[in-house]
């Protein structure tokens, strides 16, 4: 085998650094061999660390930015209670979802993510359709979350003008052109800066943390517009302006935290670029959600303490009230822009990270022939060592979808709901299959939920079912018209129709899911790949193989 021989060659030089190199090379070789056992050839360099993947997940969620651009959802549906306690509630639920996904990821670490897991956990006869449905949900979710992040960024940039000119309202052309500009920027960073993505993702953690601390200190220290009392921040509930019954309005307002806390599952697509992915990626998924939950509290509480008149915020022409909040709190347009600049920095990391994850998802789904033109979209560019064509497809799809804004701003805004519904549904499907099949495939997962597994999985599934229903509803019922309707259900159905049409036209005859031999799938009577190490002594799908490779490296290093 080529890799052991290369490790052996490197082992001729002694020293701690070389021994570290042996371990890294052995870990990469073991991960590549485990990937080959799952039916794929390793084509991407394993250059990302756990901290980098955590940073990528943290970047995609972009907590302060995401909360800022969707602030009106919670504000109109309960104000402080929905904003604050809705965030706390969804943080706990998201940890449950993340832990459920991490458990599966520790057994099947591949860029296919939930799409691949749905197939492996299903029975052989159901594996193709399970992976097809999950794959398309994941793909559409990745595309639309990238779209909503960068479109929101474009709107936020334009809203900065209103800090000095309150009468400015960007027209459709200005908004779409700015959106294309920010899409191009994130695309170029992914192409030209691909070798620095590890550092970019890691930097996101520090930028976000520093930004939250600065915003917290500045808002509470200055508070030029006055301070709210603790009762308002922690107990004020007013949903009278939404038109919904008071109790139900709270759930409708949960789109804000649900949208922000969705991107963590997207980083499973980076498994093939990480050493020890069965350990590092699950940890990154869960820790990123915990970090996001804490970060959100440190951002929301000071914002609520200095919140200006709610009605003034709800009627902001740009639909982005965070600039007005910062301007009021600092007492000047310049001060407001200084804080807004920090949020825009977080957006940039989010836009870059979302497009990165989206391109890997496109690449993984394309290499199994599930997308028209798969041969092209699944190619790896030799110079940049990234799926350049998959990245380009993701970029072009989002740019074209941006044209919808010319026809209906309301229809376009529904992509926020669509992204949330698609990603949550794609996360739920492999978890559902795992529960139905008695969680046998993940019995010896290296990241195990143990005796709490069933309860955590059920909480996850119950929430996803509820979220599909509530996020298709209008955020407010007052003055309901075609321009204020929630078209998430229509957009979701549209993408679903395209997926089903392509399946019956092409997929039914040509698509068989991930490249797993049916006899392997049938082993153990389930969609479980019999990879070495599936026993209590060698938990995890690849641990036994990894231990063997590490032993080989150590023996060669002692020659």
In a domain, 60, yes or no: yes
- Is residue 151 within 8 Å of residue 174, measured between CB atoms? no
pLDDT at 541 over 50: no
pLDDT digits over 479-524, tens only? 777 766 788 888 888 888 888 888 888 888 878 777 653 444 445 4
In a domain, 273, yes or no: yes
| CA–CA distances in Å: residue 156 to residues 162, 163, 229, 413, 438 | 10, 11, 29, 14, 46
Indicate if 102 and 32 belong to the same structural domain.
no
The confidence band for 220, taking pLDDT boundaries of 50, 70 and 90, is: very high
pLDDT at 383 over 80: yes
In a domain, 339, yes or no: yes
The confidence band for 444, taking pLDDT boundaries of 50, 70 and 90, is: confident
pLDDT at 284 over 90: no
In a domain, 252, yes or no: yes
- Is residue 97 within 8 Å of residue 432, measured between CB atoms? no
Give the integer Cα–Cα distance in Å for 30 and 34: 6
- Is residue 299 within 8 Å of residue 216, measured between CB atoms? yes
Indicate if 29 and 165 belong to the same structural domain.
no
Give the integer Cα–Cα distance in Å for 142 and 137: 8
Q: What is the CATH number of the domain that holds 254?
A: 1.20.1740.10
Domain count, the chain: 2
Q: Cα dihedral angle (383, 386, 389, 390), rounded to 10 degrees?
A: 180
Structure tokens of 525? 């009577």
363-376 average pLDDT score:
82
Structure tokens of 494? 């549209």
81-106 average pLDDT score:
94
pLDDT at 42 over 90: no
pTM for this one?
A: 0.80
Half-sphere exposure of 298 (CA within 13 A, CB side): 18
pLDDT of the residue at 176:
94
Quote the mean pLDDT of the chain: 80
Running DSSP on this structure, what letter comes out for residue 160?
G
Indicate if 31 and 70 belong to the same structural domain.
no
Give the integer Cα–Cα distance in Å for 117 and 114: 5
The confidence band for 382, taking pLDDT boundaries of 50, 70 and 90, is: confident
Indicate if 362 and 248 belong to the same structural domain.
yes
pLDDT of the residue at 253:
92
Report percent pLDDT > 70 for the chain.
82
Indicate if 218 and 320 belong to the same structural domain.
yes
pLDDT of the residue at 56:
73
**Any residues with CB less than 8 A from the CB of 457 and at least 6 apart, and which?**
100, 431, 434, 435, 439, 449
pLDDT of the residue at 369:
78
The confidence band for 13, taking pLDDT boundaries of 50, 70 and 90, is: very low
Indicate if 550 and 509 belong to the same structural domain.
no
Indicate if 28 and 107 belong to the same structural domain.
no
pLDDT of the residue at 513:
75
Higher pLDDT among residues 135 and 268, named by residue: 135
Give the integer Cα–Cα distance in Å for 493 and 550: 49
540-545 average pLDDT score:
40
**Any residues with CB less than 8 A from the CB of 9 and at least 6 apart, and which?**
none
pLDDT of the residue at 476:
82
Indicate if 108 and 233 belong to the same structural domain.
yes
Report percent pLDDT > 90 for the chain.
34
Indicate if 34 and 66 belong to the same structural domain.
no
Backbone angles phi, psi at 439, to 5 degrees: 55, 30
Higher pLDDT among residues 56 and 357, named by residue: 357
Running DSSP on this structure, what letter comes out for residue 371?
S
Give the integer Cα–Cα distance in Å for 512 and 132: 9
pLDDT of the residue at 175:
92
Of 99-103, 111-115, 299-303, 306-310, minimum mean pLDDT range:
111-115
Backbone angles phi, psi at 332, to 5 degrees: -155, 155
Give the integer Cα–Cα distance in Å for 176 and 382: 33
pLDDT of the residue at 249:
93
In a domain, 43, yes or no: no
pLDDT at 20 over 50: no
In a domain, 526, yes or no: no
pLDDT digits over 113-157, tens only? 788 888 888 888 888 888 898 889 989 998 999 999 999 999 999
The full length of the chain comes to 559
Indicate if 7 and 108 belong to the same structural domain.
no
- Is residue 232 within 8 Å of residue 74, measured between CB atoms? no
Higher pLDDT among residues 472 and 409, named by residue: 472
pLDDT digits over 327-367, tens only? 999 999 999 999 999 999 999 998 998 898 899 888 888 88
Q: Which domain holds residue 468?
A: 53-517
Q: SS in 3 state form for 81-103?
A: HHHHHHHHHHHHHHHHHHHHHHH
Indicate if 155 and 198 belong to the same structural domain.
yes
pLDDT at 391 over 90: yes
Indicate if 499 and 539 belong to the same structural domain.
no
Structure tokens of 145? 């979350």
């Amino acid at each position: 085998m080529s890799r052991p021989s290369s490790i052996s060659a490197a082992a001729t030089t002694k020293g701690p650094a070389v021994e570290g190199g042996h371990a890294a090379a052995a870990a990469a070789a073991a991960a590549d061999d485990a990937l080959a056992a799952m039916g794929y050839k390793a084509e991407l360099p394993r250059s990302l660390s756990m901290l980098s993947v955590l940073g990528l997940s943290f970047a995609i969620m972009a907590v302060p930015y995401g909360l800022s651009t969707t602030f009106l959802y919670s504000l109109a549906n309960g104000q402080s209670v929905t904003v604050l306690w809705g965030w706390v509630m969804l943080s706990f639920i998201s940890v449950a979802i993340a832990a459920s996904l991490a458990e599966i990821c520790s057994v099947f670490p591949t860029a296919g993510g939930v799409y691949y897991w749905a197939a492996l956990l299903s029975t052989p006869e159901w594996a193709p359709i399970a992976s097809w449905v999950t794959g398309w949900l994941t793909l559409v979710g990745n595309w639309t979350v990238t779209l909503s992040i960068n479109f929101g960024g474009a709107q936020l940039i334009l809203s900065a003008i209103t800090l000095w000119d309150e009468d400015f309202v960007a027209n459709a052309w200005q908004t779409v052109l700015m959106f294309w500009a920010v899409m191009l920027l994130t695309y170029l960073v992914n192409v030209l800066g691909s070798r620095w993505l590890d550092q970019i993702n890691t930097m996101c953690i520090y930028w976000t943390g520093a930004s939250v601390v600065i915003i917290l200190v500045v808002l509470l220290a200055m508070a030029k517009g006055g301070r709210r009392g603790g009762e308002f921040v922690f107990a004020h509930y007013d949903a009278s302006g939404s038109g919904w019954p008071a109790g139900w309005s709270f759930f409708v307002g949960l789109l804000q935290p649900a949208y922000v806390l969705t991107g963590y599952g997207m980083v499973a697509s980076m498994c093939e670029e990480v050493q020890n992915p069965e350990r590092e990626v699950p940890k990154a998924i869960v820790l990123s959600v915990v970090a996001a939950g804490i970060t959100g509290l440190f951002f929301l509480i000071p914002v609520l303490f200095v919140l200006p008149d709610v009605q003034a915020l709800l009627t902001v022409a740009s639909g982005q009230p965070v600039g007005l909040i910062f301007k009021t709190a600092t007492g000047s347009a310049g001060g407001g822009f200084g804080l807004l600049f920090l949020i825009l920095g977080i957006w940039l990391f989010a836009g870059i990270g979302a497009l990165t994850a989206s391109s890997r998802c496109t690449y993984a789904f394309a290499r199994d022939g599930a997308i028209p033109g798969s041969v092209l979209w699944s190619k790896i560019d030799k110079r940049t060592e990234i799926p350049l064509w998959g990245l380009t497809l993701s970029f072009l799809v989002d740019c074209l979808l941006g044209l919808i804004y010319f026809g209906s701003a309301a229809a376009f805004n529904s992509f926020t709901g669509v992204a949330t519904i698609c990603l949550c549904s794609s996360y739920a499907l492999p978890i559902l299959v795992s529960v139905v099949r008695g969680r046998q495939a993940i019995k010896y997962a290296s990241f195990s939920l143990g005796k709490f597994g069933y309860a955590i999985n059920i909480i996850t599934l119950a929430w996803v079912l509820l979220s599909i229903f509530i996020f298709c509803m209008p955020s407010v019922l007052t003055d309901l018209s075609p321009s204020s309707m929630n078209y998430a259900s229509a957009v979701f159905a549209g993408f679903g129709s395209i997926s089903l049409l392509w399946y019956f036209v092409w997929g039914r005859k040509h698509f068989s899911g991930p490249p797993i031999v049916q006899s392997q799938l049938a082993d153990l009577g389930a969609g479980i790949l019999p990879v070495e190490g599936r026993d209590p002594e060698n938990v995890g799908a690849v641990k036994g193989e990894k231990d063997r490779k590490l032993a080989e490296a150590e023996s060669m290093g002692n020659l």
